[in-house]
Amino acid sequence: MIKTLAVAASLATALTSVAIAQDSLNGLVVGFSQIGSESGWRAAETSVTKQQAEERGIDLKFADAQQKQENQIKAIRGFIAQGVDAILVAPVVATGWEDVLTEAKEAEIPVILLDRGVDAPEDLYLTSVASDQVKEGRVAGDWLVNAVGTEPCKVVELQGTVGSTPAINRKQGFEEAIKGHDNITIARSQTGDFTRAKGKEVMEGFIKAENGGADICAVYAHNDDMAVGAIQAIKDAGLKPGTDIKVVSIDGVPDIFSAMVAGEANATVELTPNMAGPAFDALAAYLKDGTEPAKFIITESKLYTPADNPQGEYDTRKGLGY
């Protein structure tokens, strides 16, 4: 009985402190510099961030950078001039942030990075909420290694935006996974800029260059949208995606699960669109009593294949803003 009361009391204290921490964001103004809307995943991140802000009573100032770093820098400078309480930024590329992050620091405005990293000193941002992108590439590569066994396999790779951390890291992770498996080679690799249209266009070029696609064993796309574009290109070439050419990608958007249901995609590595929830929790604790969050808050990277009820996964995700 005493033990039960003690547990109840400590639970109540914990819940109260979470509530106080949450309350500390009520009425705050937070600027969010978003990259754009290049992918279904990005659209979902935008909508989840707005929803997470609303639940906490945050006044979120949203700026869409249309894929341009210069627009992001302009937006951040605008947020600083307005004197916002905090800034969220999803950095389109890794380099070129030091000046503007220093300006935010000098204005004593905490900055939180969402879903991508920067090449800048770590003291210029409060925390970074993102996946382990090298691991994502490794999970995708490990899946392929297991799927092909000792069969020879020529892979074509659709890279993300040039200079972005997911493009750099997902490439590295995949290469690490296939290293030592000499039957698997990356025959061609080009950017598809994380978009469906570019993914399709680049895949069409790969197919032409590789004997009408007959020589391609698998496509590895750094996101699902490019994979969906590639699937269309494979079908247009008269081949069967998922069978003639294996399709492995990253994000876990509803459309890749429908492709799995149709037998046209083989594997995806899930990336949660809820980066803002952990970011706001870290901000609340920091503003309440100065608690420094971990510098890197890492989200999960789970593999999904057709064995994982893709119809159910589609149903769970559709309507979440993808």
Residue 240: CB partners within 8 Å, gap ≥ 6? 234, 263, 264
Write out the H or E segment, with its range, that includes residue 31.
strand 29-34
Contact track, ligand AHR, 270-289, x by CB under 6 A: -x------------------
Tell me the C-alpha distance between 138 and 172, whole Å: 8
Q: Does 257 bind ligand AHR (CB under 6 A)?
A: no
SS3 for 183-207 is CEEEEEEEECCCCHHHHHHHHHHHH
Q: Does 41 bind ligand AHR (CB under 6 A)?
A: yes
Q: Does 255 bind ligand AHR (CB under 6 A)?
A: no
Tell me the C-alpha distance between 198 and 202, whole Å: 6
Q: Does 193 bind ligand AHR (CB under 6 A)?
A: no
CB 171 within 8 A of CB 211: no
Q: Does 220 bind ligand AHR (CB under 6 A)?
A: no
For ligand AHR, the closer of residues 50 and 288 by Cβ is: 50
For ligand AHR, the closer of residues 213 and 321 by Cβ is: 321
Q: Does 38 bind ligand AHR (CB under 6 A)?
A: yes
Q: Which of 34, 46, 127, 223 binds ligand AHR (CB under 6 A)?
A: 223
Q: How far is the CB of 287 from ligand AHR (least distance, A)?
A: 26
Q: Does 42 bind ligand AHR (CB under 6 A)?
A: yes
Tell me whether strands 218-221 and 153-159 are parallel, antiparallel or unpaired.
parallel
Give phi and psi for 98, each to the nearest 5.
-55, -45
Q: Taking contact as CB under 6 A, which single stretch among the options 33-41, 62-70, 140-148, 306-314 is the one that binds ligand AHR?
A: 33-41
Q: Which of 32, 79, 194, 304 binds ligand AHR (CB under 6 A)?
A: 194
Q: Which of 84, 115, 219, 321 binds ligand AHR (CB under 6 A)?
A: 115
Residue 19: CB partners within 8 Å, gap ≥ 6? none
Tell me the C-alpha distance between 274 and 47, whole Å: 9
Tell me the C-alpha distance between 83 and 74, whole Å: 14
Q: Taking contact as CB under 6 A, which single stretch among the options 38-46, 98-106, 142-150, 231-239 is the one that binds ligand AHR?
A: 38-46
Binding region for ligand AHR (CB under 6 A): 38-39, 41-42, 115-116, 166, 194, 223, 225, 250-251, 271
